[in-house]
Amino acid sequence: MQKAEAMAQINTGVGLPPLCIQGYAKLRQEHQARLKAEAEAENATRRLAVAQEQISEYAQQREGEAGHLLGQVHAVHTALASALQQPSEGGGSLSELEAHALKDRLEEAVTEARAFAAQQKADAERTKRSFSQADLQTADSDVEMKRMRESEDDSELTGGAEDPPLASHAANGRGGAARPGDDEAGSDAEDADAAAGPRSAGFLERSRFIPLRLSADERRLLHLLEAALSVSSYTDKVDILSWRNKTQRVHVQVKDICAILSGLVVAQDYKKGQALVVNRNFADNAEWFQNVFEVGRRFKIMNPDRMRSEYGKLIYMLMDSADRDLQELLEFRCVRPLRTVHGLLAERGGLALLADGLMERATAEIVAGERPRAEVQRDIKQKERAREALVRKHRSAQLAEEDILRCIYSISDNNSYLLFNRDPVDRVISYLREYFRPDALESGASLAISGGLGGARLTHSHERQFHYVLQSLTLWREISHEMFKLWCLAENDLLRESNTYRLVNTGQGLNRVQQAASVGKAMGAILWRCQQRLGQWVGSSVIHLGDHNVPNALMFIDKYTQVPRILNPVVLVLDSLPKYCKDPHLNNYVNSVFGSVEGCRKAILLDFFRHAFDGSGADNFFDAGSCIDGRLTSAWNWGSKIEKKNYYPIFKVAGFVGFDGEFKG
């Protein structure tokens, strides 16, 4: 008790002599300056590492181009030598000497390019090794990591083993939101899963990362949580540069959230709320609060367009509540594993449901399109009969009919998500292949860009830009395909107790910089699959995570959920243009400006494929450029300038209001 009072006296400065207060203030200023300098040095070191890796990739690219050019020169030299052997032509010896000299110079240039590429690659590897040996991610007790420790006793509580994953499923499976009927089998599935066969393996692995649809009672909890978070200014009070005791401040904020929830419970369930208010013991209601927070997290994964401001507050509050000091103060842990389809079925012995052949039809997404109404109605009836058959076959004393339907509906929700988030990327890829070819260049339809012209930071030929756009879209498609898995892994990284963060000014305000090992590993696997499928890779393959570009896994998820928000309006305009041009006035406008409907489509696609993938959108090359993160930055930059395009009126006619969607609703 005396020790606690002494620490409180030091933190507040009350009762200390003026000389001690001045000395303590000076020490704080020096400590703050040192922390700032260390953060800036680490940030600069990381930027240098990224620059070295990008230079290494650039050197290897130039090496390949030089080798290709040398091969062409050898062919030209051979043809020239055979031509010079003709006795009728004069000056052959002089031309042959010039050809030999040109060949020698090119061989020297290629040798230098190869040496430069090898040197840059060695430097990049050496930098990576030095990072791993220095272990820059583990800071001393005097460096602000997750929260500033004000005493040596607090620093003793840091460290410890990692927690198990929060999601109730394996994190190393094939995962992702596969399309219905995906025949790929996860190589590391459990024995019980493997026995189900290759067709069911897709459902078994997908179900590990598909959250359960909310029940009626859970939706009431969701409304409570949204109301509490909407009036909270948690991050505004916590994420500031202050030398007050941050642990106590976070503790007050967590209790404030709990108090708001308690008040809302009183309004909905008076008896339960009254008991909570009277006791004021949050530990007695730990399970209830865990359920409330888990419902919010689960709902957000299934509905990325909802809770766009509340979710960030929730995750950051849960990040802070994972601190061991706060858990001791609150006497409970706020985080519990996500409830998934696989978790529910495994708990109640119903995994055989996922191996049933009717699952594909029972969860298929029915797209009406321009099909006859009778055909659509027939598909709906078949889907309903498949669900009824599954319920009759798999219900038991442990697995109720409602649970089976809930799991089926949850997988159907995932298919619906893929329809509106992954399929637009496929549609844009089909437009790219339909209107452009890498080996054929039409007049006025070149995808070539030049650095410095039109805001571009990259210089690509038509063929190179075609492959660059195709690779970027393919990568986005795969990320959208596995977004549920990536989101679950992101929450594991964000809410793991031992994964601390630093508060750093990244150039866009104060952000929580935190490593995301699970997401980084999954992204590396996705990138490798894309590279293997496409056969080559144009540009940089650097994945920004845990740096000033993408500070943490939450920023990563927020960034890539923007892909459908950018592409959906473009696809809507392109698909709807023929229908809108049935109006004679609009048709006359399109013909007068673009020549035809196809001319208008091609003009939109040409501008999009050139300037949405030109490396623009940042203050320097390393923050935008051709890296994995920079490709999406360029697309956002294109979207911010669409009002200046000559085809913008066509977007307005199609109902376009913006790329960012709504934050409420």
Q: Is the dihedral angle over the CA atoms 195, 201, 207, 209 positive or is it negative?
A: positive
**pLDDT of 101:** 61
For residue 619, which of 459, 457, 503 has the smallest C-alpha distance?
Answer: 457
> Which carries the bigger pLDDT value, residue 604 or residue 628?
604
Q: Are residues 444 and 409 in the same domain?
A: no
Quick check: 407 and 211 in contact, CB under 8 A?
no
**pLDDT of 85:** 64
Residue 163 within a domain: no
For residue 326, which of 314, 337, 336, 317 has the smallest C-alpha distance?
Answer: 317
pLDDT of residue 505 exceeding 70, the answer is yes
Quick check: 526 and 482 in contact, CB under 8 A?
yes
Q: Are residues 406 and 468 in the same domain?
A: no
Q: Are residues 314 and 435 in the same domain?
A: no
Instruction: Identify the domain containing residue 585 by its residue range.
Output: 422-653
Q: Are residues 546 and 434 in the same domain?
A: yes
Q: 648 Cβ partners below 8 Å, 6+ apart?
A: 642
**pLDDT of 622:** 57
pLDDT band for 464, please (50, 70, 90 cuts).
very high
Place of tokens 């679950």: 488
- Determine the Cα angle at 8 with ends 4 and 12, to 5°: 175
Q: Is the dihedral angle over the CA atoms 149, 154, 155, 157 positive or is it negative?
A: negative
**pLDDT of 297:** 95
Q: Are residues 452 and 561 in the same domain?
A: yes
Q: Are residues 45 and 111 in the same domain?
A: yes
Q: Is the dihedral angle over the CA atoms 573, 577, 583, 587 positive or is it negative?
A: positive
Rounded to an integer, the average pLDDT of 508-520 is 90
pLDDT above 70: percentage of residues in the chain: 70
pTM of the predicted protein model: 0.72
Residue 145 within a domain: no
Q: Are residues 429 and 536 in the same domain?
A: yes
Lowest mean pLDDT, pick from 170-184, 273-287, 319-333: 170-184
> Which carries the bigger pLDDT value, residue 507 or residue 662?
507
Tokens representing 491 are: 């929450």
**pLDDT of 662:** 56
Report the SS3 class of residue 448.
Answer: coil
Rounded to an integer, the average pLDDT of 151-178 is 36
pLDDT band for 163, please (50, 70, 90 cuts).
very low
Q: How many structural domains does the chain have?
A: 4
Tell me the C-alpha distance between 186 and 360, whole Å: 18
- For the chain, give percent helix, strand, coil, nearest 5: 65, 0, 35
Q: What is the mean pLDDT of the chain?
A: 77
**pLDDT of 16:** 55
> What are the Cα distances from residue 357, in Å, to 30, 198, 217, 379, 527?
67, 11, 32, 17, 32
Tell me the C-alpha distance between 537 and 262, whole Å: 54
Q: Are residues 240 and 278 in the same domain?
A: yes
**pLDDT of 89:** 45
Give the type of residue at 162: E
> Which carries the bigger pLDDT value, residue 289 or residue 649?
649
**pLDDT of 465:** 92
**pLDDT of 81:** 67
Residue 159 within a domain: no
Residue 458 within a domain: yes
Tell me the C-alpha distance between 538 and 460, whole Å: 10
**pLDDT of 382:** 93
- If DSSP states are collapsed to H, E and C, what string results for 529-570? HHHHHHCCCCCCCCCCCCCCCCCCHHHHHHHHCCHHHHHHHH
Give the type of residue at 445: A
Tell me the C-alpha distance between 65 and 62, whole Å: 5
For residue 188, which of 166, 175, 172 has the smallest C-alpha distance?
Answer: 172
**pLDDT of 181:** 35
Residue 267 within a domain: yes
Residue 103 within a domain: yes
pLDDT tens for 332-371 read 888 999 999 999 999 999 999 999 889 999 999 888 878 8
Lowest mean pLDDT, pick from 21-25, 41-45, 129-133, 594-598: 129-133
**pLDDT of 522:** 94
Residue 143 within a domain: no
Q: 190 Cβ partners below 8 Å, 6+ apart?
A: 170
Q: Are residues 474 and 604 in the same domain?
A: yes
Lowest mean pLDDT, pick from 25-29, 407-411, 463-467: 25-29
Rounded to an integer, the average pLDDT of 51-63 is 66
Q: In this structure, what is the dihedral angle of CA atoms 214, 419, 562, 237, given to the nearest 10 degrees?
A: 0
**pLDDT of 258:** 75
**pLDDT of 651:** 92
Exposed / middle / buried, residue 26 (Cβ in 10 Å: 0-12, 13-18, 19+): exposed
Place of tokens 């000299």: 101
pLDDT of residue 54 exceeding 80, the answer is no
DSSP type of residue 583: S
Rounded to an integer, the average pLDDT of 444-458 is 85
Q: Which residues pair with 513 in a beta bridge?
A: 502
pLDDT band for 621, please (50, 70, 90 cuts).
low
Rounded to an integer, the average pLDDT of 53-68 is 66
**pLDDT of 425:** 95
Final residue of a domain: which of 279, 295, 330? Answer: 330
pLDDT band for 98, please (50, 70, 90 cuts).
low
Listed as own residue / partner, the contacts of 455-461 with beta carbons closer than 8 Å and 24 or more positions apart are 455/611, 455/614, 455/616, 455/637, 456/610, 456/611, 456/614, 456/615, 456/616, 457/614, 457/615, 457/616, 457/621, 457/624, 457/625, 458/539, 458/614, 458/615, 458/625, 458/626, 460/538
Report the SS3 class of residue 300.
Answer: helix
Tell me the C-alpha distance between 426 and 377, whole Å: 26
Quick check: 327 and 158 in contact, CB under 8 A?
no
**pLDDT of 31:** 73
Give the type of residue at 246: K
Quick check: 403 and 344 in contact, CB under 8 A?
yes
Q: Are residues 489 and 624 in the same domain?
A: yes
Q: Are residues 415 and 426 in the same domain?
A: no
